[in-house]
Structure 1
């Protein structure tokens, strides 16, 4: 029992005695096999724990296009109208400029089939009116120049008349002074003659009467010259008044002409404004006539008609159908949690599994996965998207298997952003303790050089 002796008796007991109870006491064969298998599995698992495991961040998303111009777009009409004819059906391939839909007019402002012609007639009439106003402006300008010249002539004439009257006043004043002297002389001679006649009769009576008559004549002539001087002075005053009235008269005429000119210029400006409106309306009508046909903006496939039937009315900017551009630059938009964004940088490798494409995935051993395709992180959004997750765009990886051509926009994708290699035991320990993945120091993202951008714009 204690296995102290080196002599074994259990073999001899089995050979000499055939005891059933002893035969049932040996260890079952299946237990031994199970034991060996468990030990082997344990050793294998232990060894596996030291194998390398590539950490990764998983995310889900859809297939999209890298550039907005390659993504599905809704074709919209610019003007309101009524559907007259469909020239495509769903699934058709159209080239840029191909007609998709023909619509007719529904606004009464454009029902007239000769609208462009009538607008052209209005345009010609308006141009003629503007030309007439220009002619009127030129005529008024000539009239203003003529009035200004006449004003100068009239002013010169009035000034000359004033000078003439001034000279006449001076002349009449001289005459009056001369007559005043003659009156004084005649008065002195008469007074002397009267004294002589009274004191001795030296002067006869006829001589005295002659001197008296001469005195009366000189006085009468003096009064006449005095009256003439008054008339000359009055004429001088009238000439000066006329000189002042010339400025007022011509200022009024020139002001009226300038007012008429301003009115004509205002009419020209109004006409040019209306002319511009007519030209704009003609351009709009011509452009509108070209919008009765809705054309494809680029090559692609008509995916879905959003309007159906003939005679249906559509509004401005209403979506008519969906167009999927041909040969898009395919990309994948993956959504990852906010806590995983700091671990991802542009250029990181991504393994992708497309829905509907058979695959066997070992996320930590990408080289052993089957049916997955390689990608590279191209864009990481700066703001969160739906549900607080962040979107990133993944493009095909150079040198890897090309993505299947059968992929369609909007198909589901599961992706794994590949990080660094660690032992499996460390990854298990990290997952059990909810620790983040390893993050090595990455080079800082290069900020765009503002100066270089400015130079490029120049």
Structure 2
């Protein structure tokens, strides 16, 4: 039957009629137990209203505040063969101390006189560069001399042209005078001939005038020849001027061509000098890289490459060095849900592995062995472990951190937030809600 009806419900009988039950109620120890249970229940209920400080816990390790103070590896800039060690693990080294010596393994740099030979090449090229410079200067002087000589030659040719013009003018005047003499001689001859016909002049006088006429006529031909010769000399003078211009232009062009060639060789030699000087500087610097030195004061932690005769490549870590002076800090990791509650400058509590500590996360006032810290950096990108990295520095207003802390030692952190009742914290934890971010009123006013 389904026992749906009220009439079908069985009636429960009281147990008080049994003697055993009656004996239980009469025993005193059971009454005390009931009172203890009731008292514990009241205490538990009251404890739910006690204050509880919310916090964000994290775990991490001891590190340094500045990157240059963290353990670092010394690497070889060049490849080589290990020849000699000058340190061992645990030694203290100062900045610039030699750690080991390596020898060359590349055939391009095996010449022991490589630097000196390169320097000699640089000096030879510099002398060649000076020779080209002197040649350029000499050709410049030669071009100037050619220009001066050309100027003088042109002045000489122009003077010759002027002389030819003056000679042409003089010969023209002489030709005009000869023609005038011819006209006079012809008139005198005609007059003498007329007078001879009239019987006034003898025949000898006529013959003299005729001879004189022929002489004057011959002078005209000679003078015309002189005039043509003068004109020909004038033309030759102009041709000589053109020849001088062409000749010296060719000389200047040849000298300039030689000058440009010398300049080109000079620039090419200058580039070779710069290249050789670069090689010389590189070789000199490379010689100093055979001795691998310490970058700063510190202790040799571990030798990563060992033995004599072992070859290493460039960029290969050789030893790790821990700086002697460093500012200690703690790097811890917090969950993404707690990241919005973290702020730079907020105070946290830190305790370290190996140091006596009693921690009550909800009651920080009664904790023992914790140290004060302050958040100085928060990483904006999630780490490989799925959490965000937070860097904590010592709080200068509280007790100093232990001096014998080693880099890499474990550390635990607690960031204190709001104070709430215990029941609220239990309820928040069961529901997965984030803690309440505690805002200082003084900071908010600022």
TM-score tier, shorter chain, comes to 0.7 to 0.9
Q: Label 1:435 to 1:207 Cα distance change in 2 as closer, same or farther (>3 A).
A: same
**Alignment coverage as a number of residue pairs:** 425
What is aligned with 1:246? 244
Cα 1:212/1:338, change in 2 over 3 Å: farther
Cα drift, residue 336 of structure 1: 1.7
- Post-superposition Cα deviations, 1:69-113, rounded to whole Å, max 9, x if no partner, equal 011111001111101122222333322222211111112222222
Following superposition, the deviation at residue 256 of structure 1 comes to 2.2
Partner of 2:94: 95
| Mapping 1:47-446, distance limit 5 Å | 47-191=46-190, 200=198, 205-440=203-438
8 Å CA contact retained: 1:95, 1:300: yes
The answer for the alignment partner of 2:10 in structure 1 is: none
More deviation in 402-411 or 320-329? 402-411
**Deviation for aligned residue 1:335:** 1.8
Q: Go from structure 1 to structure 2 and tell me whether the alpha carbon gap of 1:216 and 1:33 turns closer, same or farther (over 3 Å shift).
A: farther
SS at match of 2:348: strand
- Distance (whole Å) between structure 2 residues aligned to residue 157 and residue 347 of structure 1: 96
Deviation of 1:392 (Å): 1.5
Partner of 1:454: none
**How many angstroms apart in 1 are the aligned matches of 2:327 and 2:432?**
38
Unaligned runs of 5+ in 1: 1-19, 447-458
Cα distance in structure 2, aligned partners of 1:26 and 1:218:
191
> 2:230 aligns to what SS in structure 1?
helix
Measure the CA separation in 2 of the matches of 1:212 and 1:26.
201
What is the CA–CA distance in structure 2 between the aligned matches of 1:187 and 1:79, rounded to whole Å? 115
Aligned-pair CA distance for 1:47: 2.7
1: CA distance between counterparts of 2:409 and 2:154?
A: 96
Could you tell me how far 1:163 is from its partner in structure 2? 1.0
Distance 2:438 2:304 in 1: 50
Contact 1:299 1:326 in 2 (8 A): yes
1:206 CA displacement: 4.1
Q: Deviations over 1:291-320 (max 9, x none)?
A: 111111112222222212211111112111
Distance 1:36 1:246 in 2: 141
Cα distance in structure 1, aligned partners of 2:66 and 2:153: 82
Matched residue SS, 1:26: helix
- Asked whether the 8 Å contact 2:357–2:369 carries over to 1, the reply is yes
**What is the root-mean-square deviation in Å for CA atoms of aligned residues?**
2.6
Would you say the 8 A contact 2:24–2:30 is kept in 1? Answer: no
Rounded to whole Å, the distance in 1 between the matches of 2:214 and 2:39 is: 176
Tell me if structure 2 keeps the 8 A contact 1:348–1:418: no
Equivalent residues in 2 for 1:14-25, closer than 5 Å: 24-25=23-24
The question of whether the paired residues in 1 share the 8 Å contact of 2:54 and 2:418 is answered with: yes
Q: Secondary structure at the match of 1:359?
A: coil
| 1:272 positional shift | 2.7
- TM-aligned CA deviation for residue 141 of structure 1: 2.5
